[in-house]
A and B are shown apart, each in its own frame.
Chain A
């Protein structure tokens, strides 16, 4: 006969305010099998946990039900306490009377009835729980980092410095990410490339980092500690082993008018190109969509231009190179794919975005976005650091910055705040002031959100010392008259409309996750929010873990982040990865499927529905060694515990430990009238 202990938590007032906790504990006393039922202010506190332990010892409990918060919150805590008292931890379960009851109901009577019901269902479940033992599986102590921006670089370096091998996969031809495009960084105005490029080189030279640039993750199989990742190494058309990075090929390429992605379209590049001089690896890449030879091949014409190949003394150019697939075994994965800027000029029906046609981005050449301004201000940029208008190359004397373009706008853009724009616009006004001494910078803002060390001081400095004029309000329309941009807006502090002329306008557009993040997230089976940002496992307590064990998230693919945030997150993922790699064996929850060998008929429906390939065939032999039956066997190391096999099994011969039919039927039974 079960001897169940029920522990009802008040959670201070969080549960007690709307649920009569003492009433719940009293009501549970009448449930058959319950031998102990109490309530307490804070069950998760030390004395609360001690109550559980004492009751297990004194009352000889065979099961523990804690009616408190979500199992996602404190199941581990109470299972630990249960184990501490010598009872199998899987005989302890949580009844969620906080998130699913007290916090969502105001009627005390109804909430209390519901709390009793919830607790009773879990009591019935626990009565049917059986002791389970933790599964131990081996861990491959190598990590995969996806994305070679500052977050990916930091994560890779930290893990490698911690003594483990890292595979760093970068989609583009070079690592460095958006940070390599920046001119100077807030709030210290130190040169972005000066602090980034040494780290890039360090990645390249690190003995424990294997860099796959110009590569993408093709597929991911497996589970925590045992992932098998296939990486597509896209054809650069350049032999990496032969190329010495001299750059002769790029100088002779006749197609020199291709807008440079690195310069955000403000500069030009050739068809065979190195995205920027400090690129790592310093290898050219043939853009097959723009190369004359490949364009001719696409049209079925013979190869004509081979100038780069002729110029290459090493014979490194290989037009017939194919994509290669390489497979790597890793134990943990860090996702650090970063962000893109909201391309505001265009209607984007796929993402259900309307764009902001009224600002003329894409039609007025002197309306640019924040990253384009970074390239103008960068010493390595298309203007060598001079602030010049894209239209006529003149120095703009009146420059206007618009904040919150696409951010904080549920109607047409994103409802979230992009976080970095207030700061980089303040920085832009300063950079502009340093380079155009007689110019006037004006900023249209909604609020100034300068939360961060030295941030508020920095934005005040832009206004008070560097002469930026800040206008609280929005711009409704911009158009071009001659070479002047006319701006129509509204000053919400003065309560008056504003008309203004500008030579150049910079839009601080919203940060969005990289395109293709959804496809990657699906390969990794991690969840993402409606904007495409990867979901963290817990917004406060597990900020760098995802819902999938062994997969971590860093930087702006999780939410808008500035550099210090991204770096801090990356280091956090590294510490998580190194923690995971600390032991050769990994302990896993034993909630996996288990086959009843006597009943299994060997139909293998379970095998067909298993998403992990965890179901294997097992031969049952007679004494003479002849195979008499073939039945299913679930590999507990591979099984993830979804239970789809159990719902599919016609003879109910496979059972998911911890969620058996007995247990669920017990729960349903408890809800009966």
Chain B
């Protein structure tokens, strides 16, 4: 088997990137594993020390790189390992989500949740719900079409899929 080929035989399988904090959600996801809770395999976790570390640019970057959905998850309010990082994250994402909505990105693609270290079951539900929701929304191609192809920029040749689309100068 070629291990690098994504399994897409059964139709559209969304690619979801999760940005989680090390102390609550990452540990909660570990607990889901230790408890052998079966869940959709579409999510790829990127571990950060705290949700406060998550720059909204990470999310746009992940969309740019082909993610169809995003999960951001950390400690519950008042439980942040770093006292207040999750509050900063919460404020940042309240605004960021508005911006995405304004730009025409379906906010259903962005999941923000609190999953504590003891909530393996909740993590499974967050993952499965996000996958179901994003699967229904379909592939997220809009953003990728806006991305300037480095080859095109270098050669002056616009790739066929970009013809007629809005491409930033």
Contact = CB atoms under 8 A, between A and B. Distances in A.
Interface in B13-41: 15, 17, 23-24, 26-27, 29-30, 32-34, 36-39, 41
A644 B4 contact: no
B52 A644 contact: yes
Interface stretch (B55-63, B98-106, B150-158, B161-169): B55-63
Contact of A671 (B4, B48, B65): B65
Given A644-B52, A644-B85, A99 B29 contact: yes
A107 B41 contact: yes
26 contacts: A20-B3, A23-B3, A72-B26, A99-B30, A99-B34, A100-B29, A103-B34, A104-B124, A109-B1, A111-B41, A113-B7, A116-B4, A611-B82, A612-B82, A612-B83, A640-B82, A642-B82, A643-B50, A644-B88, A647-B52, A659-B49, A659-B53, A664-B58, A665-B61, A668-B58, A668-B61
Interface of A: 20, 23-24, 26-27, 30, 70-72, 96, 98-101, 103-107, 109-114, 116-118, 121, 518, 522, 525, 527-530, 535, 547-548, 591, 609, 611-612, 640-644, 646-648, 656, 659, 661, 664-665, 667-669, 671-673
A22 B23 CA distance: 31
B134 to A, nearest CB: 15
B118 interface: yes
A27 B4 contact: yes
Interface of B: 1, 3-7, 15, 17, 23-24, 26-27, 29-30, 32-34, 36-39, 41, 44-50, 52-55, 58, 61-62, 65-67, 75, 78-85, 88, 92, 116-118, 124
Contacts, number: 168
Nearest to A102: B33
Contacts of A101: 33, 41
Given A611-B84, A667-B46, 11 more contacts: A20-B3, A99-B33, A104-B33, A105-B38, A527-B116, A612-B82, A640-B82, A644-B50, A644-B53, A646-B53, A668-B65
Top-7 shortest CB links A-B: A99-B33, A643-B53, A644-B52, A642-B82, A672-B65, A673-B66, A611-B83
Nearest to A521: B79
A547 B23 contact: yes
Contacts of A591: 49
Contacts of B54: 647
Nearest to B56: A647
B44 A671 contact: yes
A105 B29 CA distance: 13
A643 B7 contact: no
Contacts of B37: 104
A106 B38 contact: yes
A121 B15 CA distance: 14
A113 B5 contact: yes
A99 B7 CA distance: 21
A54 B114 CA distance: 42
Contact of A609 (B3, B30, B33, B88): B88
A656 B49 contact: yes
A114 B78 CA distance: 33
Contacts of A548: 81
Contacts of B24: 527
Contacts of B26: 70, 72
A72 B82 CA distance: 17
Nearest to A26: B3
B123 to A, nearest CB: 9
Given A72-B30, A113-B5, A104 B65 contact: no
Contacts of B55: 646-647, 661, 664
Given A116-B3, A671-B66, A525 B82 contact: yes
A527 B117 CA distance: 8
A644 B54 CA distance: 8
Given A642-B82, A668-B17, A671-B15, A100 B46 contact: no
Nearest to A25: B3
B41 A114 contact: yes
B46 A664 contact: yes
B159 to A, nearest CB: 14
A641 B49 contact: yes
A671 B17 contact: yes
Nearest to B83: A611
A547 B48 contact: no
Contacts of B38: 104-106
Nearest to B65: A672
A588 to B, nearest CB: 14
B3 A647 contact: no
A110 B43 CA distance: 11
A111 B44 CA distance: 11
Contact of B33 (A103, A110, A529, A671): A103
Contacts of B41: 101, 104-105, 107, 110-111, 113-114
B44 A118 contact: yes
Nearest to A118: B44
Nearest to A533: B118
A23 B49 contact: no
Contacts of A107: 7, 41
A591 B23 CA distance: 15
Contact of B78 (A522, A661, A671): A522
Nearest to A115: B3
Contacts of A667: 46
B141 to A, nearest CB: 11
Contacts of B33: 70, 98-101, 103-104
Contact of B118 (A99, A118, A529, A648): A529
A100 B124 CA distance: 11
A535 B117 contact: yes
Contacts of B47: 71
A257 to B, nearest CB: 40
B65 A669 contact: yes
Contact of B48 (A116, A117, A118, A659): A659
A527 B52 contact: no
B53 to A, nearest CB: 3
Nearest to B4: A27
A9 to B, nearest CB: 14
Contacts of B81: 525, 527, 547-548, 642
Given A105-B38, A668-B17, A669-B65, A24 B46 contact: no
A90 B5 CA distance: 31
B84 A23 contact: no
Contacts of B34: 99, 103
A116 B29 CA distance: 18
B18 to A, nearest CB: 10
A621 B61 CA distance: 38
A647 B92 contact: yes
Contacts of A113: 3-7, 41
